[in-house]
Amino acid sequence: MSGSESPTIPFSKKVNEKGQLVIPQDQREELTIDGRDALVEFNAKPVSGSESQTILFSKKVDKKGRLVIPKEHRQALSIEGQEVLIEFEAKKVTYLDDENGGDGE
């Protein structure tokens, strides 16, 4: 792995009934999201309900670590309209505020 590649980070987080969550600061640091908006790739699966499938999606995460799981993904995960604990594996793809998507100045 090169120095500019972001690691894949596993974590669990409560998602509210609207699909909103905040990635904790320590996980954002591990993902190398350093106060800039980033595109992050997620594998997500509810902690309860072993029959639930894992969903892969990419989503913008703002500089405060906030994101919303899209409605169609919440429906596929069978979590629409309820507060649920979700297991994630996340990897930063790129920053969104750089013209070149770069990880440096």
Spatial separation of the C-alpha atoms in residues 22 and 66, rounded to whole Å:
4
What's this model's pTM, rounded to 2 decimal places?
0.82
Task: Quote the tokens at residue 94.
Answer: 């790129």
Each domain of the chain, given as residue ranges in start order, spans: 9-95
Q: Report the amino acid identity of residue 90.
A: A
* Tens digit of each residue's pLDDT (9 = 90 or more) over 4-62: 578 999 999 999 999 999 999 999 999 988 788 999 999 999 998 657 789 999 999 99
Eight-state DSSP code of residue 68: E
> Quick one: how far is CA 52 from the chain centroid?
18
Question: What's the CATH number for 9-95?
Answer: 2.40.30
Segment 63-95, tens digit of pLDDT: 899 999 999 999 999 898 999 999 999 999 999
Alpha-carbon distance of 56 to 93, in angstroms, equals 13
